Amino acid sequence: MELVELSPLRDALVGLPGVSGLSTEQRKRLTIAVELVANPSIIFMDEPTSGLDARAAAIVMRAIRNTVDTGRTVVCTIHQPSIDIFESFDELFLMKRGGEEIYVGPLGRHSCELIRYFEATEDVRKIKDGYNPSTWMLEVTSATQEQMTGINFSQVYKNSELYLIKELSTPPEGSSDLSFPTQYSQTFLTQSFACLWKQSLSYWRNPPYTAVKYFYTTVIALLFGTMFWGIGKNQQDLFNAMGSMYSSVLFMGVQNSASVQPVVAVERTVFYRERAAHMYSPLPYALGQLQLNFHTSLFSP
């Protein structure tokens, strides 16, 4: 929470996008925080500043910068960054149309390494003072400029020292992959308690689901209790009561399945995302759901 500067919003509800709860910028920082729960060594982000104004984009990039400063690697795509946002990056991987590499290397302070590299290329115009390096970079390497100057920037890169450094940094064929002792950052018991706690809050914050469940349980109990009140003095009455019990259990099962579907529909998206991030395995999640629903059914009227 402190890393992404969300401590003041610790007890706030996420809410619905554009309706209530957190703003778009706060949601993006929360998404970063959720991914950090699994303690990953590398994080991939797809345009984290899209749809944000300059102030909100700067706050999100500051959270990303704080994440990088903890020793993690962040691979991030960016669209039309400002000067301040562009200078937040350490290295750049630039490709032209067709997927060919144009520049792979450090940016340097105030993008000095990037500017020095392209200005050293013949017939490339110099950058103006105060001009955005990212905009200038895209302009001088565009397909139109390549046709006008006759420069193949992908070939220029392959003949550069940056390309040689990249090739020498690539592990040789037959090298063994990195091995990690565990697939998840937390133990099975910790995962189980975390899933149970999270799902308990999810159901607790959904009063309509709980109200409908207890309402139908009470109605069914009163209905069948009234119908068979004082019956049970002979064998046929006993069979009738057993039939009513079967009908009530069947009806309650169908009703509970129908009422839980909207909750599961929302939780499923979150589960898929968190499972893909290896925050927990499916078994603790299933056990948490089973235990929670068992307790609510046990203490129903």
Token couple for 133: 């390096």
Q: What share of the chain is helix, strand, coil (3-state, %, to 5)?
A: 60, 5, 35
At residue 129, the pLDDT reads 86
**Confidence label for 178 from pLDDT (cuts 50, 70 and 90):** low
Reported as a single tens digit per residue, the pLDDT across 222-245 is 877 777 777 667 777 777 777 777
> Average pLDDT for residues 12-28, to the nearest whole number?
76
pLDDT at 293: 73
Band (pLDDT 50/70/90 cuts) for residue 33 is confident
- What is d(CA 210, CA 95) in angstroms, rounded to the nearest whole number? 53
Here the tokens at position 144 are: 């139109």
For residue 222, the SS3 value is: helix
* pTM across the whole model: 0.59
What is the mean predicted confidence (pLDDT) over 130-134? 89
- Whether 154 shows a pLDDT value over 70: the answer reads yes
Q: Give the type of residue at 260.
A: V
Tokens coding 261:
């579907």
Per-residue confidence (pLDDT) for residue 38, from 0 to 100: 76
Question: Quick one: CATH architecture of 7-169?
Answer: 3-Layer(aba) Sandwich (3.40)
pLDDT > 80? residue 167: no
pLDDT of residue 21: 76
The domain ranges of the chain are 7-169, 188-298
Each residue of 71-122: pLDDT tens digit? 888 998 888 788 888 888 989 898 888 888 888 888 888 888 888 888 888 8
Question: Which of 239, 214, 218 minimizes the C-alpha distance to 228?
Answer: 239
Confidence check: pLDDT of 179 > 60: yes
pLDDT at 99: 84
Q: Mean pLDDT across the chain, nearest whole number?
A: 81
